[in-house]
């Protein structure tokens, strides 16, 4: 359990706090990594179909209307939205270029209220010609490296990262760190190549790999983060915490001078603002969640908050919640994965206190809007 009672993201001009719209566009993938669960609620499922173009565009419209409700209650310094298009492998969708081309058009009604950044999480295993068509529509790429890919795919991966660099677009590489010795070393070698080519990167431990990392691998992680975080006696990197997926540093107990890359990630019954910074849309079956990993809802249970088949109900419910006061999620999960960077606190009064800097009262904003 944490030795602290409050967790917040550190203020970082190069990694600002945004609202993340996670859009799982398709579940089909051109890789089949052993550590990526398959099936409808896994990381990929090649038995599913690619969602139709018209349904994807409707989902895009819904996501922008949804996040706009939260943007009403954000201070100006937090009115940033990040749309992350991923999968499966999103670039594997046959209509991906047309889908991406529609984003800016659907964003037009909101452009004066909040800033949009379009990101794509991809394994970057795509033809050079297709990538050239996609690059103009993406602001930032998050590429993931998988040691289980073939030598040909790994060369294509490198070529595409260099192409993205040449385009001037922002990119970072999340290097999956398998605990198998050959895979771990291959990933370490890729980190060296990325460093040599001035490509930002972040090694990522496998979620759920309890007791599987060897002592020397834990020491490697410890050295990379340059902190004495890990308890080497139990050889269990997962039990002692986690780093943020996006590499964001964290502050604990409102001590904003000290920053941590790796913190404890067990917050059962804590109060969390994950709903104020995340939305997850699973396009293949229409499920809509607050967050892709925790999937907590407002009823204290794990499950969707609605479905794309009835987006109006989701929007209306959110408006009611925000008008009556910001909804609060109390975590019931044993571990926090994606969503670690959302401000959270063990005590409700403390939670409400720290959240004042992250939001304004919704009804006050609506009153101002009516005056104008």
pLDDT tens per residue, range 7-32: 999 988 777 889 999 999 999 999 99
Range name among 274-288, 313-327, 350-364 with the lowest pLDDT average: 350-364
What is the predicted pLDDT for the residue at 115? Answer: 97
What is the predicted pLDDT for the residue at 210? Answer: 61
- Asked if the model's pLDDT at residue 338 lies above 90, the reply is no
Q: Mean pLDDT throughout 277-295?
A: 96
Domains of the chain: 6-371 (3.20.20)
- Residue-wise pLDDT tens digits, 27-50: 999 999 999 999 988 999 999 999
Q: Are 310 and 262 in contact (CB under 8 A)?
A: no
Query: Of 90, 125, 129, 69, which Cα lies nearest the Cα of 279?
Result: 69
What is the predicted pLDDT for the residue at 129? Answer: 96
- Asked if the model's pLDDT at residue 292 lies above 70, the reply is yes
Q: Which helix (H) or strand (E) holds 279?
A: strand 278-282
- Residue-wise pLDDT tens digits, 133-185: 999 999 999 999 999 999 999 999 999 999 999 999 999 999 999 998 789 99
Residues forming a β-bridge with 12: none
CA pair distance 64, 83, nearest whole angstrom? 9
Residues forming a β-bridge with 86: 24
What is the predicted pLDDT for the residue at 230? Answer: 53
- Asked if the model's pLDDT at residue 369 lies above 70, the reply is no
In three-state secondary structure terms, 46 is: coil
What is the predicted pLDDT for the residue at 371? Answer: 35
Q: Is the dihedral of CA 128, 132, 133, 138 positive or negative?
A: positive
- Asked if the model's pLDDT at residue 362 lies above 50, the reply is no
- Asked if the model's pLDDT at residue 284 lies above 80, the reply is yes
For the chain, helix, strand, coil in percent to 5 are 35, 20, 45
What is the predicted pLDDT for the residue at 7? Answer: 94
What is the predicted pLDDT for the residue at 365? Answer: 41
In three-state secondary structure terms, 23 is: strand
Q: Are 177 and 149 in contact (CB under 8 A)?
A: no
CA pair distance 272, 275, nearest whole angstrom? 8
Q: Mean pLDDT throughout 345-355?
A: 95
What separation in angstroms does the CA of 195 have from each of 166, 190, 202? 16, 9, 11
Residues with Cβ < 8 Å from 316, sequence gap 6 or more?
none
Backbone angles phi, psi at 70, to 5 degrees: -70, -35
- Residue-wise pLDDT tens digits, 107-131: 999 999 999 999 999 999 999 999 9
- Asked if the model's pLDDT at residue 238 lies above 60, the reply is no
- Asked if the model's pLDDT at residue 360 lies above 80, the reply is no
CA pair distance 214, 353, nearest whole angstrom? 41
DSSP-derived secondary structure for 281-299:
EETTTTEEES-TTT-B-TT
Residues with Cβ < 8 Å from 83, sequence gap 6 or more?
21, 23, 63, 103, 116, 117, 118, 119
Q: How confident is the model at residue 229 (pLDDT cuts 50, 70, 90)?
A: low
Residue 330 burial (C-beta neighbours within 10 Å; 0-12, 13-18, 19+): middle
Q: Are 7 and 252 in contact (CB under 8 A)?
A: yes
What is the predicted pLDDT for the residue at 335? Answer: 87
Residues forming a β-bridge with 8: 251
Radius of gyration of the chain (CA): 20
Residues with Cβ < 8 Å from 14, sequence gap 6 or more?
none
Query: Across the chain, what does the average pLDDT equal?
Result: 90
Residues 169-190: b if buried by 16+ CB within 10 A, e if exposed: eebbbbbbbbbeeebbebbbeb
Residue 15 burial (C-beta neighbours within 10 Å; 0-12, 13-18, 19+): middle
Query: β-strands 271-272, 140-145: how paired?
Result: unpaired
Proportion of the chain above pLDDT 90, given as a percent: 71
What is the predicted pLDDT for the residue at 239? Answer: 59
Q: How confident is the model at residue 201 (pLDDT cuts 50, 70, 90)?
A: very high
Residue 140 burial (C-beta neighbours within 10 Å; 0-12, 13-18, 19+): middle
Instruction: List alpha helices for 39-93, DSSP H.
Output: 53-71
């Amino acid at each position: 359990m944490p030795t602290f009672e409050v967790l917040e993201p550190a203020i970082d001009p190069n990694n600002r706090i945004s609202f993340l719209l996670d859009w799982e566009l398709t579940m089909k993938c051109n890789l089949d990594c052993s550590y990526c669960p398959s099936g409808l609620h896994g990381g990929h499922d090649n038995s599913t179909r690619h969602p139709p173009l018209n349904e994807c565009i409707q989902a895009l419209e819904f996501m922008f209307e949804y996040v706009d409700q939260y943007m009403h209650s954000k201070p100006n310094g937090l009115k940033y939205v990040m749309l992350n298009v991923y999968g499966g492998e999103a670039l594997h969708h046959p209509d991906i270029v047309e889908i991406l081309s529609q984003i800016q058009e659907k964003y037009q009604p909101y452009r004066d209220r909040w800033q949009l950044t379009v990101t794509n999480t991809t394994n970057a295993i795509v033809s050079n010609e297709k990538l050239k068509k996609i690059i103009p529509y993406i602001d930032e790429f998050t590429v993931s490296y998988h040691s289980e890919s073939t030598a040909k795919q790994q060369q294509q991966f490198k070529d595409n990262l260099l192409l993205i660099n040449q385009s001037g677009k922002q990119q970072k590489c999340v290097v999956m760190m398998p605990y198998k010795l050959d895979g771990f070393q291959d990933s370490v070698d890729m980190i060296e190549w990325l460093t040599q080519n001035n490509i930002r990167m972040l090694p990522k431990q496998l979620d759920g790999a309890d007791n599987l990392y060897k002592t020397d691998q834990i020491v490697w992680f410890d050295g990379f983060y340059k902190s004495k975080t890990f308890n080497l006696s139990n050889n269990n990197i997962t039990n002692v915490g986690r780093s943020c997926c996006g590499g964001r540093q964290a502050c604990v107990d409102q001590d904003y001078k000290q920053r941590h890359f790796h913190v404890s990630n067990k917050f059962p019954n804590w109060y969390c603002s994950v709903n104020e910074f995340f939305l997850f849309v699973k396009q293949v079956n229409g499920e809509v969640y607050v967050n892709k990993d925790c999937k907590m809802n407002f009823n204290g249970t794990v499950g969707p908050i609605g479905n794309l088949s009835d987006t109006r109900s989701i929007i209306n419910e959110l408006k009611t919640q925000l008008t009556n006061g910001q909804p609060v999620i109390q975590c019931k999960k044993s571990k926090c994965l994606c969503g670690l960077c959302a401000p959270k606190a063990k005590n409700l009064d403390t939670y409400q206190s720290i959240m004042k800097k992250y939001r304004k009262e919704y009804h006050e904003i609506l009153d101002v809007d009516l005056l104008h």
